[in-house]
Amino acid sequence: MIAQANAELLKIRTTRTTIGLVLGMVALTLLFSLLSGLLTKAPSLTSTEDQRGLLSVGSLAGVFSALAGVMLVTSEYRHGTIRPTFLFTPRRSRVIDAKLAAGLLAGIAFGIVGEGLGFGIAYACLAGRGIAYALDTGQTLLLVLGTLAGVALWGALGVGIGAIVRNQVGAIIGLLAWGFVAENLLFAFVPSVGRFGPIHAQNALMGLTSKHLLPAAAGGVVLLAWTIAFALAATAFAARRDVS
């Protein structure tokens, strides 16, 4: 299991996919943090919730860690490396578990970079413009650690999605369509259901307090439950299906 996890981490490090995702994440985080940090009018940045919104731009990293997780599985099916992978480790649950662990670790790395950058820029913008920092230590810790935990879980969730869907394009489109469209619509129209979606669970976990969101702890539990559910389904699917 440890050996297989090391192999999965090596796979992540030995193609340009990962560096591409990191660069994309850094570029988007820079863009959004700087734009909203510099251009938002000062009166709209004074409340705790306003500042939370600005300081949590780094949670974009979740999209990229999820994509990294999806790629870790689907690129193996796309390029056929899943065959040698399963020939070397025919216990498929061991491969999926190792990928989940690798996805989680990659997610932590994405989270540290993305959230570090987003939070740092946002904090610097507030300080540079002389706007008083409104969050107390507890709120700051919840924001930073909640984002990090959420981004890490998305890495594993991405692995789960990839292992269930297997088709790379399908999995990526499905992930983005759910994350950017479907769940937002669900939350807008049926918030009592939509708040249990993984994106809104992560928003809650970071301490965001907009209307209808779950409490932070509940958000964390819900996001973890999603991750575990996808992980179990991924293991069951991988064990059952033939590899062509």
Partner 1 sequence: MIADAAPVVVADSLTKRFGSVLAVDSLSFELAAGTITGFLGPNGAGKTTTLRMLLGLAKPSTGNALIFGRPYADVADPALRIGAVLEATDFHPGRSGRDHLRTLATATSLPDARVDEVLRLVELEGAAGRRVKGYSLGMRQRLGLAAALLGDPELLILDEPANGLDPEGVRWLRDFLQAFAAGKKTVLISSHVLAEVAQTVDQVLIINRGKLVVESSLEQLTARVGGSVRVRTPERATLQQALQREQIETTIVNEQGLLVHGVSSEKVGDLAFAAGVPVHELAAEGSSLEDIFLELTSEPQP
| Residues at the site binding partner 1, with contacts judged by CB under 8 A | 3-4, 6-7, 10-11, 14-17, 75, 79-81, 83-91, 242-244
Q: What's at 176, amino acid-wise?
A: L
Q: Is residue 234 within 8 Å of 159, Cβ to Cβ?
A: yes
- Residues 148, 62: Cα–Cα separation, whole Å: 9
CB of 71 to partner 1, least distance (A): 10
Backbone angles phi, psi at 80, to 5 degrees: 85, 0
CA 36 to centroid of chain Cα atoms? 21
CB of 109 to partner 1, least distance (A): 18
Residue closest to 72 by CA, chosen among 24, 152, 27, 7: 7
- Residues 198, 112: Cα–Cα separation, whole Å: 20
Complex with partner 1: residue 168 or 227, whichever CB lies closer: 168
Complex with partner 1: residue 2 or 132, whichever CB lies closer: 2
Residue closest to 236 by CA, chosen among 99, 96, 102: 96
Complex with partner 1: residue 15 or 210, whichever CB lies closer: 15
Complex with partner 1: residue 88 or 133, whichever CB lies closer: 88
CB of 67 to partner 1, least distance (A): 16
Angle at 238 between CA 234 and CA 241, to 5 degrees: 135
Complex with partner 1: residue 167 or 210, whichever CB lies closer: 167
For the chain, helix, strand, coil in percent to 5 are: 85, 0, 15
Give per-residue burial for 106-115: e unless 16+ CB within 10 Å, then b: bbbbbbebbb
Complex with partner 1: residue 206 or 238, whichever CB lies closer: 238
CB of 92 to partner 1, least distance (A): 8
